[in-house]
Amino acid sequence: MNDIPHSLNPQDCLVAVMIAQSMSDENIRTAELVTIENIVNHLPIFGEYDPDRIKLVSSTVFDLFSEEDGLDALFGLIRDNLPDYLNETAYALACDVAAADGHTYEAELRLLEEIRYELNIDRLHAAAIERGARAPWIARCWRTTACPTPS
């Protein structure tokens, strides 16, 4: 496995959640990668973040996903290194990545459910976050006739 420090910083954890969400259906889409890049480039929490760490964190997530209990190990790292007050932020970022291409596939939904459970996200909060992630797609449908099928 990669030489990742024993403790990830909170931003690394957020990136790891987004990368894991993108990988969840074994098809990393360009729209998802662009969304991750935009998030890291624009959200204030990433203001001091070294973008070169994305490669290291991504490689770690890839390595963990290739192991039998890798998802459990990933969630262990995230729980150990992400402050509780950022749990809903992590879930919101995962939802944004899942919604990046206008479709949410079964594997993506399963991982979102697992993230909700592992990060102890309240169901009502999760529903509001999910609705917020879908809002840009709903707005596009009002302006055009080309709407993706709701998922």
Question: pLDDT tens for residues 48-104?
Answer: 999 889 999 999 999 998 888 889 999 999 999 999 999 999 999 999 988 887 777
What is the Cα–Cα distance from 75 to 16, expressed in whole angstroms?
A: 10
CB-CB contact of 111 with 21 (8 Å): yes
Type of residue found at 41: N
- Burial label for 5, CB within 10 Å (0-12, 13-18, 19+), is exposed
What average pLDDT does this structure show over 127-142? 62
What is the Cα–Cα distance from 2 to 75, expressed in whole angstroms?
A: 17
Type of residue found at 22: S
> Cβ of 51: how many Cβ atoms within 10 Å?
11
CB-CB contact of 54 with 16 (8 Å): no
The pLDDT score that the predictor gives to residue 149 is: 54
**What's the pTM value of the predicted model, to 2 decimals?**
0.84
Provide CB contacts within 8 A for 55, sequence distance 6+: none
The pLDDT score that the predictor gives to residue 25 is: 80
The pLDDT score that the predictor gives to residue 6 is: 53
The pLDDT score that the predictor gives to residue 24 is: 85
**What domains does the chain contain, in order, with CATH numbers?**
10-143 (1.10.3680)
